Structure 1
Amino acid sequence: MSKHNVRETALDILVSIEKNQSYSNLLLNKMIEKNNIKGKDIGLLTEMVYGSIQQRDLLDFYVEPFLKNKKKIELWVSILIRLSVYQMLFLDRVPERAIFFEAVEIAKKRGHKGISSMVNGVLRTIQREGVPSLNEILDPTKRLAIETSHPEWLVKRWVEQLGYEETKKMCEINLKPPVQTARVNISRTTVDELLQQLENDGYSVSKGDLSLDSIKSTSGNLVHSTAFKQGLLTIQDESSMLVARALGVSINEKVLDSCAAPGGKTTHIAELLNNTGQVISLDLHEHKVRLIDQQVERLQLSNVTTKALDSRKVKEHFVEESFDKILVDAPCSGFGVIRRKPDIKFAKKESDIENLARIQLSILQAVSPLLKKGGILVYSTCTIDREENTDIIEKFLSENKDFSYDHSIKERLPERVQPYIEDGQIQIFPQYFETDGFYIASLKKQV
């Protein structure tokens, strides 16, 4: 397959993301299959798509002075220029003449001669004159936002909550691609056995940094491994693996996972129960419940029951005080997983945080009566915003006097994260361990 087609596919994906708010990871997989992209071209396509999204605002800052009549330029043309400039500045192994030639060919094919001349002119002028300096932006928050391509409102919010230095570290790490990590299905194999099997199959793998049952792959996608098909592992970030551990489940317990799709934490809980007890796994959408079912089947777990249900309505379906442990892995803004899903930072608005916070609190209020006295409720999100994390827990505790912080969470989490645990809560930022950003709070119901 020619590189020209790879670039055209990248352009199609980027246009669809901007026009239709499509998810980059799903669209990428679909287009790789549809256009029959193979081998090294998959790597190039992935890098161009994710890189262009990750660096979007910086690229637009660089390109803007060279565009005349910006309002008249069609979306696909401005994205083609952005994609080409990304390759010029960030992909040193791609020769510039190839970038120019193929950008012009795509412009000819999709537009007309005028468009292809304009694209050629802009790219050659940028090559000749160089891009503008970020030092022109005097406000440090605005400069950081553009330099790391995060919305200015978001950077401002983080600076208020965390200070400038911590925010800068987080914005910078968000631009780095994550290492693939996986959770070993300890109900069927051990970490050492699985590492051996994967190495024999040609993967470059090692033990994870944070979680006891994690491994990381530095070469080869574990989704394509025999071990994955056999149900011996699950692709999951290491900070996400801490959530099931925080619950501290014991054999034969009955556990509710109230917002469970796509099933990573449900299946981890089921594995930690060693196929005993019962995990009731809920999600609002039927199609997402099917994703959980597929995981359960692949991992050969027999202790999971799934149901499509709005977890705010659990009282209609379950008896009060009928669960030993409850997990609320709440729907959230997802700002802890920007490295994996760069489109998140542009898809969300500040008002979304407020709306999500309302939903998060209402889920907690709805499921908490189902917990037995003396039981543990874990609340988690893959975001790093106080309004969705500590603020929610403080509000919940102020309204539910039969719950308190559970300080014993410290004993259940790995030594490396223990210094970050405070009052039964932990907030992990991506820069701490190069994992996703995650918040976990453990609460205990009074006896």
Structure 2
Amino acid sequence: MANDKHRVRTAREVALDALVRIEREGAYSNLELNRALREAELSRADAGLATELVYGTVQRRRTLDYWLERFVAKGLARLQPWVLALLRMSVYQLVYLDRVPAHAAVNEAVTIAKRRGHAGISGMVNGVLRNVDRRRSELTLPERASSAGEIALKHSYPDWLVERWAADYGPETAEAICAAGNEPPNGSIRVNRLRAARDAVLERLKAEGLYATPSPLSPAGIVVARGGNLADRTEYRNGEWTVQDESSMLVSEAAAPSPDMTVLDCCAAPGGKTTHLAELMGDRGTVWSNDIHPHKEKLIAAQAERLGLSCIRTTVGDAAGLPEKHAEASMDLVLLDAPCSGFGVIRRKPEIKWTKSPEDVDAIAALQARLLEAAARLVKPGGTLVYSTCTIERRENERQIDRFLAGHAGYELDPEWPPHVLDALRSAGVIREGAAFPGMVQLLPQHFGSDGFFIARLRRRK
């Protein structure tokens, strides 16, 4: 067995280990997978398979368990965590991955079970998976989901979450949100226009055979399909671009800072919006970039240095304490990209659907209200406060802003967003043609194939 310690692990073994850690230790899927892939040093093809298995298995967990219940005689609750993860991962391959032969999925699952368990476990795994494969026609789901429960089962979400979305957006939109959350995320970059022109970068990517298109949400954005690791390229290291989701780019575009402003980003790590603000300002003025975690301050500073931005100043501390560091009414623009439930980024972090609860939403909303109070004190009369989240939960978004405005007569929603932003929102149907724009917007994951994001722009009256 000593040699087994140094044996090269397969893609399925790497995926299984990651799945167990995500389930047992509450690890974030993206961080855990990145760590596992770095350690395993798999080929590109095997790394792709491991990635598909981890994200797909976590995404479809409820549906996989629904099917497995009828094949595991003693019930899923009595299985060891690694055995349940192995069965889920294997059924995911049988049902959702056409390019993986059934015998390959079953045989390797049995091999892993033999290596990690006893003969009884490997025999059970073999029997369950062969039975699932033979009776695949019985693995059905509601074709036309009409209730929140049916939508939740069909797309693999908890009932409570779909019930909230159905109440807030209607059943049809709730189902579209769920379906979009199971789609793979787009790759996108934000060109640093202080160092490169978007058109030139586009042409270079296309010349390499990549499918690259300009983002409708940001004049600096490019969507790149199947582009690999866009942060592991010379252009990234040279500061020509930043890897960032399109919806996240929209926040700084909506904030629309001008050169020579004094700007504050309250919860800034890892620095995507901070550096975007600085680029939009032509690196003129001051961008204060704050985060509560000291190690993340270094990430922000490293991003600024990589991009050649000298106007960024980093600080560490609770955003609620920022009025103790900066004079009241001293900022032209304050951005509060608030901590949130993260339901807009489920396609990137699918475990969120299983780890968050209604009580979490209540606690996060209370924190957001506290941070908004602090941020509002720092805006100059006539200045701008931008509030954003990467969630689609109305308690954290529209209702949060309504509550804030009810208690702050000196603030009002500002509908004067840059024309290119409003044009993009109208073209996608996010804002109805002819309808007045209220100054806040909820992007859903199906609107642009990007993250779900909420953005409100407020003006402090003079």
TM more than 0.5: yes
Structure 1 Cα separation of the partners of residues 198 and 244 of structure 2: 15
Structure 2 Cα separation of the partners of residues 53 and 137 of structure 1: 23
Look up the match of 1:279. 287
TM-score using structure 2 length = 0.93
Structure 2 Cα separation of the partners of residues 38 and 293 of structure 1: 33
Alignment check: 8 A CA contact 1:404 1:445 kept? yes
1:3 CA drift (Å): 9.9
Q: How does 1:246-261 map to 2 (within 5 A)?
A: 246-261=254-269
Look up the match of 1:427. 442
Alignment check: 8 A CA contact 2:256 2:418 kept? no
| Pairing 1:161–2:168 present | yes
Structure 1 Cα separation of the partners of residues 461 and 217 of structure 2: 31
Alignment check: 8 A CA contact 1:212 1:414 kept? no
TM-score using structure 1 length = 0.96
Look up the match of 1:27. 32
Equivalent in 362, 366, 379 of residue 387 of structure 2: 379
For residue 386 of structure 1, give the secondary structure of its aligned residue in structure 2. Answer: coil
Cα pair distance change 1:446/1:423, threshold 3 Å = same
What count of residue pairs does the alignment treat as equivalent?
A: 447
1:282 CA drift (Å): 0.6
Unaligned runs of 5+ residues in structure 1 are: none
Look up the match of 2:119. 113
Structure 1 Cα separation of the partners of residues 185 and 127 of structure 2: 36
Cα deviation, 1:124-171, whole Å, max 9, x if unaligned, reads 111122344334999721121111111111001101111100001111
Alignment check: 8 A CA contact 1:54 1:175 kept? yes
- Counterpart of 2:369 in structure 1: which amino acid? L
Alignment check: 8 A CA contact 1:66 1:122 kept? yes
Look up the match of 1:48. 53
| Pairing 1:441–2:456 present | yes
| Pairing 1:181–2:188 present | yes
Look up the match of 1:195. 202
For residue 443 of structure 1, give the secondary structure of its aligned residue in structure 2. Answer: strand
Structure 2 Cα separation of the partners of residues 80 and 139 of structure 1: 32
Alignment check: 8 A CA contact 2:155 2:179 kept? yes
Look up the match of 1:78. 84
Q: How does 1:87-166 map to 2 (within 5 A)?
A: 87-130=93-136, 131-135=138-142, 140-166=147-173
Structure 1 Cα separation of the partners of residues 72 and 144 of structure 2: 19
Look up the match of 1:38. 43
Alignment check: 8 A CA contact 1:410 1:424 kept? no
After superposing the two structures, state which structure 1 stretch, 432-441 or 418-427, moved more: 418-427
Structure 2 Cα separation of the partners of residues 99 and 8 of structure 1: 12
1:9 CA drift (Å): 0.7
Unaligned runs of 5+ residues in structure 2 are: 1-5, 432-436
Q: How does 1:280-429 map to 2 (within 5 A)?
A: 280-409=288-417, 411=419, 413-418=421-426, 420-421=430-431, 422-429=437-444
- Counterpart of 2:395 in structure 1: which amino acid? E
Cα deviation, 1:217-253, whole Å, max 9, x if unaligned, reads 1232212221111111111111111111111211100
Structure 2 Cα separation of the partners of residues 103 and 3 of structure 1: 16
1:45 CA drift (Å): 0.9
1:116 CA drift (Å): 0.2
Structure 2 Cα separation of the partners of residues 193 and 154 of structure 1: 43
- Counterpart of 1:29 in structure 2: which amino acid? N
Cα deviation, 1:378-437, whole Å, max 9, x if unaligned, reads 101111111000111111111111101112125362412146353111111111111111
Look up the match of 2:241. 233
Look up the match of 2:226. 219
1:198 CA drift (Å): 3.2
Identity value in percent: 44
Structure 1 Cα separation of the partners of residues 8 and 66 of structure 2: 27
Cα pair distance change 1:429/1:139, threshold 3 Å = closer
1:201 CA drift (Å): 5.0
- Counterpart of 2:339 in structure 1: which amino acid? P
Structure 2 Cα separation of the partners of residues 412 and 332 of structure 1: 27
After superposing the two structures, state which structure 1 stretch, 165-174 or 139-148, moved more: 139-148
Q: How does 1:52-63 map to 2 (within 5 A)?
A: 52-63=57-68
**Coordinate RMSD, CA, aligned:** 1.9
